[in-house]
Amino acid sequence: MKKVPQYNPSFYPLGFVLRLLSFVAIFVFLAGVVPVLGDENSGPAAVDKKKAEEAWRKEQAERERILAEREKEIESRKQDEERWAREEEIRRREVAIREDELGRLMDADKDQIKRIVERKRIVREREDAFQEKIERLESQVRERAENKKKREENAERKVESLRSRIASAQEALEKTPNDSELYWLLGTYHLDLGLQDEAIRYFSRTIELSPGNFGAYYNMGLAYDQKNDGPQAVLNMKKAEQMLLVTTRSWEKERVKWVARSRKNLRRMSKKYKIAPDQFNLDGWLSQFSTELLWSAK
């Protein structure tokens, strides 16, 4: 039978320590040797693995670089697209503004064209009216020239006729020197010729021979008016009016017309010379004329 050792208490701590140390040594050995034996980083396989890892890391880095470049390119494209979009928007706005301005300019041009057309029409109408006016004025000038020529011819014929009549009246006056009608005719002819002094001399002789000849006073008033002798013109025209009022009856239409003519001339002369016809007191002359008129009627 195998003898079982007895337990010695004094020996127990040392044995325990030895056993613990042996266990630690085994563990250290195993921790140092086994990993060395089984380490993949040592040997050819580890080198290849490191190269593969290095290549993978380079490839990964290249991929990350390419990916970053692509991201940058994408970002750049986005920025370009945004810039292009902004530029396109700006161009669209500019085009819209230009189209709006062009529309306003076209409207303004249309209005300007309308105004130009209207002005041309007005100018054309004015030119036509001006041409018509010129033609009308030329026609009036020609007509006036013709009328003037006719008046001159008529005046020449009238002058010749008056001279012929004067010569005839003077011949008749040599035969009948006291004919008041001839003196009145000679005064009228000379008045028509513008010879006021000779006309006044003949009218004065007519009044001496025939005090009731109102026509002599009337024409003598006209003769003095042509000479701008206001007082004598108004006085003789007033005498003609008073004489007509005394001798004219309402049914004598021709003499009534002479009264109207004498009054019209009196108003004209009074305004021209600022002489009132009433300032001439013709009562004495009128009473004498009435008396002479009554005696001649008897």
HSE-CB of 75 using CA atoms within 13 angstroms: 6
Q: Report the pLDDT value the prediction gives residue 14, as an integer from 0 to 100.
A: 59
* pLDDT given at position 290: 53
pTM of the model as a whole:
0.50
Residue whose entry in the numeric block shows the structure tokens 């079982």: 4
Per-residue H/E/C for the chain:
CCCCCCCCCCCHHHHHHHHHHHHHHHHHHHHHHHHHHHCCCCCHHHHHHHHHHHHHHHHHHHHHHHHHHHHHHHHHHHHHHHHHHHHHHHHHHHHHHHHHHHHHHHHHHHHHHHHHHHHHHHHHHHHHHHHHHHHHHHHHHHHHHHHHHHHHHHHHHHHHHHHHHHHHHHHHHHHCCCCHHHHHHHHHHHHHCCCHHHHHHHHHHHHHHCCCCHHHHHHHHHHHHHCCCHHHHHHHHHHHHHHHHHHCCCCCHHHHHHHHHHHHHHHHHHHHHCCCHHHCCCHHHHHHHHHHHHHHHC
Pick the CATH number of 176-284 from 3.20.20.70, 1.10.3720.10, 2.60.40.10, 1.25.40.10: 1.25.40.10
Question: 12 CB contacts (<8 Å, ≥6 apart)?
Answer: none
pLDDT at residue 256, rounded to an integer: 82
Encode pLDDT of 142-191 as tens digits. Answer: 888 888 888 888 878 888 887 888 888 888 888 888 888 889 888 999 99
Comparing CA positions, the residue from 196, 194, 187 lying closest to residue 165 is 187
Please name which of 217, 233, 216 lies closest in space to residue 225, comparing C-alpha atoms. Answer: 233
User: What is the Cα–Cα distance from 231 to 276, expressed in whole angstroms?
Assistant: 10
> What is the model's pLDDT at position 32?
54
- The first and second tokens of residue 35, run together, are 């990993």
The 10s digit of each residue's pLDDT in 154-167 is: 878 888 887 888 88
Cβ count near 176 (within 10 Å): 9
pLDDT in the model for residue 110: 78
Domain ranges of the chain: 176-284
Which ranges of the chain have pLDDT less than 70?
Answer: 1-17, 27-44, 250, 280-298
